Amino acid sequence: MSKHIRQKALKYIAIGTMIAAALAMAVATAIEHLYGTQMAHRTVYHAPWFIGLWAVGIGAGIGLMLAKGQHRRPAVLLLHAAAALILSGALLTYRMGYSGMMHLRLDAQQPTNICEVPDGGPIVSPFALRLLGFSVVRYPGSQAAMDYTAQLLVLQPNKQADTAIVAMNRIAKHQGHRIYMGSYDDDELGVSLAVSYDPVGTGITYTGYALLLVGLGALLFGPKGRFWKARGRLASLVVVFVGFAAAPPRAEAAPQPSPPSLPPHVASELGRLLVYHNQRVAPLQSLARDYTMALYGSPSVHGLSPEQVLSGLVFYPNAWEQLPLRHKPNAPRYRELHQLRRQALSAEPMRIFPYTDSTGTVRWYGPADRLPQQMPTEQWMFFKKALSLMGESVYKADWPEVLRLIDKIALYQQKEAALVLPSASQIGAERLYNRLGHPKAMAIGSTALGLLLFALMAIALSRQRQLPLILLRSAAAALLLVGLYLLLVLVLRWWASGHVPMSNGFEVMLLMACMGALIVAAAHRRIPTLLPLGFVLSGLAMLVATLGESNPPIGHLMPVLRSPLLSAHVACMMLSYTLFGLAALNGLMGLCTPPPEAKLKLANLSLTALFPALFLLVAGTCIGAVWANISWGRYWSWDPKETWALISIMAYTPVLHINPSGPARPQAFHAFCLAAFAAILITYFGVNLLLGGMHSYA
């Protein structure tokens, strides 16, 4: 067999097996959704044919590298060695390791050495564990868990007993085993611990991760890397308008008379009170905003503020009960909204009265709650009658008396719960966020402005002219303002919540919109044709963030998410998605641009975005794997989002094989950018909305 034929055969084998592996993983995620995790693992992930497929693909890739002599390039050698190490480590983890659960109780008579493995039944560990103590650390003034810690006694025959402490994101190690915190029993007298044993696989895989990032970084960003070579070809670009059909405006209902409400200044003062809402102490304004959004789908009803809406429900129940909700009575969610309104009409969510019990724990109560028996009579009367007295003053329109009662409740809150209340700066940040954190109008405006800018560029280019510099600078300034607005919203949410806002779909989509706006605004002088893409990408991301129930209230972070790796993981993933999105939109324009020169220049622009995007996607996936191993004891579990992240990496791997002088076939390259982006869309939206899994959030 000639050298040329051998190289061609190895190339087709490598490409074919990788495509087959990607398709198999895509099918496996559907199998898991329909038939369960064990079926997907048995038929695909742990099947011998699937393991063999990976072995053949990596073997063919290494053989092709050697046949072409590319092993003399250190970066290429590192990449292929990294892939081999990662897969070898995963195989060793599967064959030699195990991961299971141990359930311990404080009232147990005997220690436990039985580890329940989901796929393999019980395994007897070489040591036994006894639970010596367990404690839950809660957020100040809240019953939400911030962390939980178990004190363990580790027993082993013929050896002295040892002690260990396990908490979220804090593991214990013993004889090659790693012990992780799982969950705890409702009575807080027992815990479920994850026990993982992997003598060599994890270390080999981590080495592969490191080599992969080093090799990828050297290949893309080194002095002779592809990124720098493609970057030099972006001096001038030609863009042709791509038409987008705008959705028809929704028909609005006929105007209705405004229901009665408190005067704005009185409602605003009421909104300054603190309330226990969503397992945290927050301004009553936040409770009002969340109820208004849930019931009516908007932060304002008939021009009334959220505080006026909530206080109207509480103090004018008969009138507000007649106001239509966001869903009609025959809608699936109507019953849920009807129940929420009934709660508001009875002042059930108004838990504005803190009480410190004999243990020093502060709990919050509303007038409709059952109060502790040991509560002093004077406090009991205050809790039960304060809102009723306020309601009588509202009925009489005695606003000075209403304000006096509000001040009295505020003073009581400060006196009774001063040690657990949020700081004044946090309260101020949250109140400002409640007023600013509604990006839907800006999303529509940003998208519309981007489409308008497309049209103006198309007109100018059809006449072989450039848009006026003042127009481009004004558009860049507007896009910068969009990015700064989103940055302010994220910072305010960060300060109010106490954690980096990257824990749910709303926050990460706002982050993506912010990154897109700021990146394009910063690059507009060199690449002015990115401006329409920046507006459209940011606008669409904001629209996705605000769709349906995607705008969640501020809440405490789950204990497992209290890790610095969360921020690094989400930031890498969202920045890579942003760059992939820009490349996809640019590819769409490239497909519709007639001149071949313009197609090539647009292809180089996409190529420049894809290089750092691929690196960030790989880095974010590796960081996520390390974080998963620290928190759950498994660096890879074939969760649907993990699987589709791997498919996305494989979809964009051809970028590494493109000639750095520019794509030889720009039309095909633009089609590739659009097709590959489908994997990103499925990774984020498809998994969240359809496939589920532990990474799923809407």
Q: Give residue-wise pLDDT tens across range 227-255.
A: 555 544 433 333 332 333 333 333 334 45
Task: Indicate the helix (H) or strand (E) that contains 362.
Answer: strand 362-365
Cα gap 487→482, rounded to integer Å = 9
Q: Cβ(164)–Cβ(180) under 8 Å?
A: no
pLDDT per residue as tens digits for the range 390-445: 999 999 999 999 999 999 999 999 999 988 899 999 999 999 998 887 777 888 88
Q: Does 195 have pLDDT greater than 80?
A: yes
Cα gap 625→36, rounded to integer Å = 22
Q: Does 698 have pLDDT greater than 50?
A: no
End-to-end CA distance of the chain: 54
pLDDT of residue 187: 87
pLDDT per residue as tens digits for the range 636-688: 888 888 999 999 999 998 888 776 566 778 888 889 999 999 999 888 777 87
pLDDT of residue 355: 92
Cα gap 647→617, rounded to integer Å = 11
Q: What angle do CA 607, 610, 612 make, to 5 degrees?
A: 120
Average pLDDT on 536-547 reads 78
- pLDDT: which is higher, 642 or 118: 642
Q: Does 465 have pLDDT greater than 80?
A: no
Task: Specify the DSSP class assigned to residue 249.
Answer: P
Q: Cβ(164)–Cβ(152) under 8 Å?
A: yes
| Residue 19 pLDDT grade (very low, low, confident, very high; cuts 50, 70, 90) | very high
Domain ranges of the chain: 3-72, 100-197, 264-421, 423-557, 562-698
CA distances from 550 to 33, 230, 516, 577 (A): 22, 38, 20, 19
pLDDT per residue as tens digits for the range 215-232: 888 877 766 655 555 544
Percentage, residues of the chain above pLDDT 90? 27
Structure tokens at 612: 């750092």
Q: For the chain, what is the total number of helices (H) and then of strands (E)?
A: 22, 12
Average pLDDT on 357-381 reads 88
Total-model pTM = 0.71
pLDDT of residue 627: 85
Minimum mean pLDDT range among 340-349, 379-388, 579-588:
579-588
Cα gap 132→327, rounded to integer Å = 52
pLDDT per residue as tens digits for the range 42-56: 999 999 999 999 999
- Listed residue (679, 454, 418, 486) closest to 588, CA to CA: 454
Residue 589 sits at φ, ψ, to 5 deg, of: -65, -40
Q: Cβ(275)–Cβ(287) under 8 Å?
A: yes
The residue count of the chain comes to 698
Structure tokens at 395: 């009925």
Average pLDDT on 259-266 reads 92
Cα gap 18→10, rounded to integer Å = 12
| Residue 463 pLDDT grade (very low, low, confident, very high; cuts 50, 70, 90) | low
- Listed residue (455, 443, 600, 472) closest to 530, CA to CA: 472
Q: Does 4 have pLDDT greater than 60?
A: yes
Q: Which residues contact residue 34 at a Cβ distance below 8 angstroms, ignoring those fewer than 6 apart?
A: none
